[in-house]
Structure 1
């Protein structure tokens, strides 16, 4: 029979404090946004749903991790705990950064700024800082404690998944209007799928069960990501150049979406390129040993 062991030092550790802050801030933020009238943000409902999903999803994950850490039941979960905590912390930091940027953008596009909207934005910023603090604490631990996802290649894979997730709210409003959007959506979808497969392999400790060696599989996924994001980046920059043409009537909302997509695509392409370089270096090292 499992016994719950509560240690006094667990309630004063930096991880306990930042995780408590994460749970409180995310709960406060999505509660404030949920209390707003949906009709006030109807013109950008996709971004509102994305922000709400981000806060609710990471509130649930953080509460679960926080509870299991306190009662010391995390050893009963059939996942790599050290990789899971780093993944949630870093991805929570990136996703809440996006929500902290997108939600004020939604509010500023509305003619009336409510106090609860401002309070929700502040709460989202505090949430981002809390997740960033946890990421720093976990990534500065010893390699044995932080696992693969706390290393540079692991962090790059989290950035890749984050980049793919950002494309969902950016492309949904205009996915049926241009053939370029269909091409880039397919590229982003394939990369999100490969990132999820990588995450499942790492968190589930399935590396030894893979049909291919893990290092070659990761290199293949990185190469696919580089090729697909190169295509997407070229399309994005072409659209940016088209926006600068004289006499083209494009709304400010569409311009903002294209610019944001271009920035995120470029950052994600850089992450895939660096990750591919690490994978090639590892393959060359192992071939000479």
Structure 2
């Protein structure tokens, strides 16, 4: 017992739906890594990315679970609720991505040279990774904002969308770095500036919120977020028009995919990925702007 008469360990962190979700995350994450290390295997950049996702999420989830059980998160200078739901949202997106990437590059209908046993292990990896993504999504569902309940900004729809926007921007950056030829035209370079600027400000908003320092700012944080979201909509709208024109118009680019373009190293494919996810992020920012009109911010300092 602590001096205030409470328990040192937080039983609710284990004996609750949220605790059950986190334990499922740990079990499935450990199982996925073990299967890959034992027999399924991974190679190249895509395999390394998947393994990084599984190891990173397992490590952070273990730390979160331990701090919650021991109540030591109260000693950390962050807004714990904002941090945990932001991380759960990020982990959900990362696991979904890994659950798609791994079978696409490592799971084939026919048995590989290593034998059918390897294929069976890779099927098990894909299943465990997919189920684990639902476990993280369950945590987001359990801790999200509900009517009549005061929560942190990251638990609101607008806060969760910020995490998704930053993640989509990372996908755009990956496509840009994969020989997208964005430096051939000044307008496409402008689009890169738009992606970078919006990503940077979104990360700052998430960081300030998770740190619990919104009340120490010298300007209204809620007004800043709404104004920034509106400007981001305008910037992404311009990029959503400019990028396709200077990538796929006959005058500046190639309308169709070239026949001699190798898979995974084709600039046209990278341009298409950037165009698609630019419109996805535009839709997310518009949705964010709509939801930001319906929430009220509660600033708190840890």
Normalising by the smaller structure, the TM-score range is 0.7 to 0.9
Residue equivalent to 2:115: none
- Deviation track 1:208-235 (CA, whole Å, cap 9, x = no partner) reads 2223221232123313422332243235
Tell me the CA shift for residue 134 of structure 1.
1.0
Q: Which has the higher helix share?
A: 1
Query: Which 5+ residue runs of structure 2 have no aligned equivalent?
Result: 113-117, 297-302
Tell me the CA shift for residue 172 of structure 1.
2.5
TM-score, normalised relative to structure 2? 0.77
1:265 is the counterpart of 2:278: yes
Tell me the CA shift for residue 86 of structure 1.
1.2
The 3 A distance-change label for structure 1 pair 167 and 246 is closer
Residue equivalent to 1:74: 73
The 3 A distance-change label for structure 1 pair 217 and 105 is same
- Deviation track 1:127-163 (CA, whole Å, cap 9, x = no partner) reads 2111011111112656646422111211221221121
Residue equivalent to 2:22: 19
213-222 or 61-70: which moved more? 213-222
Q: Within 2, Cα distance between the matches of 1:182 and 1:35?
A: 44
Bigger Cα Rg:
2
- Aligned counterpart for 1:155 among listed residues 153, 160, 164: 160
- Aligned counterpart for 1:186 among listed residues 193, 196, 209: 193
71-80 or 109-118: which moved more? 109-118
Conserved 8 A contact 1:176-1:182: no
Residue equivalent to 1:201: 208
Conserved 8 A contact 2:10-2:68: no
Conserved 8 A contact 2:180-2:271: no
RMSD: 3.4
Q: Within 2, Cα distance between the matches of 1:56 and 1:206?
A: 30
Residue equivalent to 1:286: none
- Deviation track 1:177-231 (CA, whole Å, cap 9, x = no partner) reads 7536654443322222111110111111211222322123212331342233224
Query: Which 5+ residue runs of structure 1 have no aligned equivalent?
Result: 284-289
Tell me the CA shift for residue 88 of structure 1.
1.3
SS at the partner of 1:174? Answer: coil
Conserved 8 A contact 2:248-2:256: no
- Deviation track 1:66-85 (CA, whole Å, cap 9, x = no partner) reads 11111122212111111112
Q: Within 1, Cα distance between the matches of 2:137 and 2:278?
A: 22
SS at the partner of 2:212? Answer: coil
- Deviation track 1:62-116 (CA, whole Å, cap 9, x = no partner) reads 1111111111222121111111121111221122112212222222589947333
* Pairing of 1:1-289 with structure 2 (within 5 A): 5-6=8-9, 8=11, 10-34=13-37, 41-42=43-44, 45=45, 47-107=46-106, 112=112, 114-139=119-144, 144=149, 146-175=151-180, 179=184, 182-238=189-245, 239=247, 244-245=255-256, 249-253=260-264, 254=266, 256-279=269-292
- Number of matched pairs: 279
Residue equivalent to 1:287: none
Conserved 8 A contact 2:161-2:284: yes
SS at the partner of 2:178? Answer: helix
